């Protein structure tokens, strides 16, 4: 479970459950979620954080899926307050204002 959570951080609990079923391991989607909760990996953000920690400690080589997930997460977390404010005049939609 930990291996799948880090190798495929974009996979949800249902997909992990189905993948494990193909490997002849019977675990429900809820069971996968419970295991992730016990490992503090219940969402993709936490899984990616754990993956980054593993890379920093062990120097593992990331797969294309892992790199894409990390890049997307970083792009999604760009703080809009870092960009300069748009100094535009207020446009009013009614001619009566």
64 in a domain, yes or no? no
Interatomic CA distance for residues 50 and 56, integer angstroms = 10
Report whether pLDDT(92) > 70: no
47 in a domain, yes or no? yes
76 in a domain, yes or no? no
The structure's pTM equals 0.65
37 in a domain, yes or no? yes
User: What is the token pair recorded at 89?
Assistant: 């005049």
Mean pLDDT lowest for which of 13-17, 18-22, 78-82? 78-82
Boundaries of domain holding 27: 2-59
Give how far the C-alpha of residue 94 lies from the chain's centroid of Cα atoms, to the nearest Å. 43
Residue in the structure block whose two tokens are 């009614």? 94
29-34: list long-range contacts, CB under 8 Å, 24+ apart. Answer: 32/1
Residue 97 is predicted with a pLDDT of 46
Which residues, at least 6 apart from 17, have a Cβ–Cβ distance to it below 8 Å?
27, 28, 29, 31, 32
88 in a domain, yes or no? no
Mean pLDDT to the nearest integer, 86-92: 53
């Amino acid at each position: 479970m930990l291996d799948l959570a880090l190798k495929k951080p974009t996979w949800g609990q249902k997909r992990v459950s189905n993948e494990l079923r193909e490997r002849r391991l019977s675990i429900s989607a809820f069971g996968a979620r419970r295991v992730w909760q016990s490992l503090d990996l219940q969402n993709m953000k936490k899984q990616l954080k754990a993956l980054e920690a593993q890379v920093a400690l062990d120097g593992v080589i990331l797969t294309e899926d892992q790199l894409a997930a990390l890049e997307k997460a970083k792009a999604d977390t760009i703080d809009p307050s870092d960009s300069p404010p748009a100094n535009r005049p207020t446009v009013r939609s009614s001619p009566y204002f």
